Structure 1
Amino acid sequence: MTSPISQSIHPGVDVAQVTAPLPDAEIRSRTDSYFNRTRRIVSAFGDCAVTYAFFIRTPVISAPTLMLRWLENVMAERNSPCEIEIVHPEGEWVGAGEPLVYVTGSFTHLADLETLLLQKLGSPCVAALRAYQMALSLPRTQFLAMDARHCAGFEMQELMAYAASVGGRAARRDGAIGFVGTANDAVAAFFDTPHGLGTMPHALIGYAGSTVRAAEMFHETFPETDLVVLVDYFGQEITDALAVCRRFPELAAAGRMAVRLDTHGGRFMEGLNPQESYAVLNRHAPQALRRYRSDKELRYLIGTGVSAAAVWSMRDALDEAGFPRVKIIGSSGFGVTKCACMADARAPLDVVGTGSYIPERWNETYATADIIAYNGQERVKMGREFLLPSTRAAQRLGATTDRTAQS
């Protein structure tokens, strides 16, 4: 079995949910019945070597490693060799409909795997693209993957964390900081970190009775950990942020403190309203307001919740109070569009915590596979000829000839 699979997954990551080989009985129970029937028919009438082409109908960032590791593990259990040709390496942009991977092997042993292989391919590739787009929008901002609470179980959590790490690395190659960590230990090694990142939830502040007291409890328990404080619990973001800074001036001066803005979308941050939000942004990024915008984009700039105006207002308050080294972390609904709006407003975000790179439209994640060759003879259903290597080679040759003629 050839193994050209990316080694980007840190050896410390336990991806058993995604890559562990399943017993044949469980594979049968989880796969579509017509694939199971196909396996029985092929076993009865004679096996052949087939080549599958895997593709997605929307542009993506290639993220096939977990799928391919699972495939390798299952085929090893079945003692059936297969060949894997990665057309687009992990982290590379892939156009809509372009094959990501070709897999060649026994039809008998591949027929019943298609359902599970597609489950492990589509959503990570789309999520990786969204993570890449977000990180590239704010290239000087660190991103923290906070998707776990939005995932449907452990397997999806592993797929989404893997996707964020792939998209983050792709953005890093293009000059962005990208994703630097995740919120929990199980998938932290995807980001080359030993453990999950994060400090306190709103519940701790409710327990403590005040934002300052919650900060004191946290610092007493974890004195070596940088202090990140949620400041929206009581609706007094500015007031509570400054109170915590004054309580821990040494941490603030050393750059070991951050305030996290997570203001509910149903209200404005302390001190803001529509008019004041407009005035704040007009002072710092007037060009962002002068462009034509949808209502949604305008809300990200000067609306309720964690808007660009809210971030600028917090930065102004911290600087004016003598705390220029205290960082600002933004969370709450940071997807591709919101990150682009923040970039347009030059919002001074040091870190963004997000789970919104999870695909918004799940039908965009549907990966597809077609057999394109039987015993080495090219054959594919009508309309999918674009998947054939010979067709793709001819298209590339034609494009080269056209460019030569034009020059």
Structure 2
Amino acid sequence: MPADGVGAAPSGAAPSPAADQVARLADKYFIKTKETVGRFGDTRVTYAVFMRRPVICTPRLAVGWLEEMARARGVEFDIRLTHPEGAWVGAGEPLMMLSGPLYHLVDLETIYLQKLGPACVAAYNAYQMCVDLPNVDFMAMDARHCAGAEMADMMAYAASVGSAAARRDVGARGFVGNANDATAHHFGRERGMGTMPHALIGYAGSTVRAAEMYHEAFPDEAMTVLVDYFGQEVTDSLAVCRRFPEMAAEGRLAFRLDTHGGRYLEGLDLNSSYAVLDRHAQRSIRGYRTDTELRHLVGTGVSAAAIWHLRERLDEAGFGAARIVASSGFNPGKCKAMAIAEVPVDVIGTGSYLPETWTETYATSDIVSYGGKPSVKVGREFLLRYLDH
């Protein structure tokens, strides 16, 4: 049984892939090893499952699937987590020790590693983002960047684990929801969150008209209005506030900046971006910054200066309670730059906690014991010490 209360997927969820699909999806050498073991006799083995970079332990999907496979095969696997869910795990340090009959474990490796590695790295990234901006609500908007529904479920789960760890460690607000219904349960919700895409603005013909249409369709909801479609982020934000002053005053009106990197937000250029930060966050531009940090601070798109600029203009017009939502490329590095500039952002919508370097997500599983006798390939002897833990 897994340690620390980590269990299978939510009740009612079918294991994916099903037991009868394993032979088709597993690496062929595992299938041939299974056939060989079946011919020459089974033995009990112990695997050490680890990664080559620091991660956040995010094992529930892998563990849940292993438990389903054990039930389907009428055997028992001893799954011992070396760290609880949400804990930091160092490079090369096992996340779990997995014991059972070699015949029933060997062909499962391909799939449980797929369910483990990417989730652990995504959780690590989500954790870093939430720690750097502890007073910001995050929204997981990764689904359309995922390679199918299974990956989307894995990434939403990862965001929830990283977020919970940041909440535990620094009191961060973290990820409060996501963009679709299918994975909302990972955030304690029944439904996804979101209001309008660019398509609705284009359909309506103006930002104000899109807001009116949305409000008529969903009169009881707070409203987040996307304001970059026409390149008039400030003008359109103020126009919507004037159209819905009560909602603005009640803090039920927000503006989402999603300006692409090919231009500056309305009213800004490089010099004025520096001036904005000089007024509000001098420390962010007075020290040495890398080119990437400078792009996040004073460059095109949704920069720190852009967020500060919109906040200035809303406040000057008397709409201090209107909120700001930022999206567009908010990965750990960009969030760190935003923290340096102390940006007045209320919500960040991001799918960029998804691993950027996919090779970092590769989990590895090595057998370290055959029939109770320690044995591992040369160079991995360091794993043997975990047999006694």
> Per the shorter chain, which TM-score range?
over 0.9
- In the alignment, what sits opposite 1:191? 187
Would you say the 8 A contact 2:234–2:313 is kept in 1?
Answer: yes
Determine the structure 2 residue equivalent to 1:397. Answer: none
Q: Give 1:253 deviation, angstroms.
A: 0.8
2:3 is matched with: 4
The 1-side partners of 2:343 and 2:388 are apart by: 44
| 1:155 is aligned to 2:150 | yes
Whether 2:102 is the aligned partner of 1:103: answer no
Q: What is the CA-CA distance between 1:251 and the residue it aligns to?
A: 0.6
Question: In 2, distance between residues paired with 1:10 and 1:250?
Answer: 43
1:55 is aligned, of 50, 54, 63, to: 50
The answer on 1:224 being equivalent to 2:223 is: no
- The 1:345–1:8 alpha-carbon spacing in structure 2 relative to 1, beyond 3 Å, is farther
1:29 is matched with which residue? 24
State the 1:275 CA deviation: 0.8
Q: CA deviation at 1:294?
A: 1.4
Partners of 1:52 and 1:371 within 8 A in 2: yes
Q: Is the 8 A contact 1:55 1:101 kept in 2?
A: yes
Residue by residue over 1:211-259, the C-alpha shift from the partner in whole angstroms, topping out at 9 and shown as x without a partner, is 0000000011101111100010100000000000110011111111100
- Structure 2 distance, partners of 1:285, 1:378, is 57
**Over residues 26-52 of structure 1, what are the superposed CA-to-partner deviations in whole Å (9 max), with x where a residue is unaligned?**
211111111001101111111111111
Change in Cα spacing, 1:48 to 1:361, as seen in structure 2 (3 Å) is same
Where structure 2 has 5 or more consecutive residues not aligned to the other structure, the ranges are none
> After TM superposition, where is structure 1 displaced by more than 4 Å over at least 4 residues in a row?
7-10, 390-393
2:328 corresponds, among 324, 332, 342, to 332
TM-score of the two chains, using structure 2 as the length reference: 0.97
Matches within 5 A, 1:5-404: 6-7=5-6, 11=10, 15-16=13-14, 19-20=15-16, 22-24=18-20, 26-174=21-169, 175-389=171-385
**Conserved 8 A contact 1:143-1:178:** yes
Distance 1:341 1:9, change over 3 A: farther
Amino acid at match of 2:229: Y
CA distance in structure 2 between the partners assigned to 1:352 and 1:390 by the alignment = 40
TM-score normalised per structure 1: 0.93
Q: Give the letter aligned to residue 386 of structure 1.
A: F
- Aligned residue for 2:356, secondary structure, equals coil
Residues 142 and 281 from structure 1, CA distance in 2 versus in 1: closer, same or farther, beyond 3 angstroms?
same
Whole-Å separation in 2 of the counterparts to 1:306 and 1:171 = 24
Tell me by how many angstroms 1:267 deviates: 0.3
Q: 2: CA distance between counterparts of 1:387 and 1:59?
A: 16
How many residues matched? Answer: 388
Task: Please report how far the alpha carbon of residue 391 of structure 1 lies from its aligned counterpart in structure 2 after TM superposition.
Answer: 7.7
CA contact 2:7–2:63 (8 Å) conserved in 1: no
What value does the CA root-mean-square deviation take over the aligned residues?
A: 1.5
**What amino acid sits opposite 1:49 in the alignment?**
R
User: Which amino acid letter does the alignment assign opposite residue 234 of structure 1?
Assistant: F
Distance 1:154 1:313, change over 3 A: same
Whether the aligned pair in 1 keeps the contact of 2:50 and 2:364 (CA below 8 Å) is yes
Whether the 8 Å CA contact 1:278–1:309 is kept in 2: the answer is yes
**Which string of whole-angstrom CA distances, capped at 9 and with x for unpartnered residues, describes residues 77-98 of structure 1?**
0001111100011100000000
Gaps of 5+ in 1: 394-407
Aligned AA for 1:4? A
Question: Which whole-Å CA distance do the structure 1 matches of 2:19 and 2:9 have between them?
Answer: 26
Secondary structure of the structure 1 residue equivalent to 2:302: coil
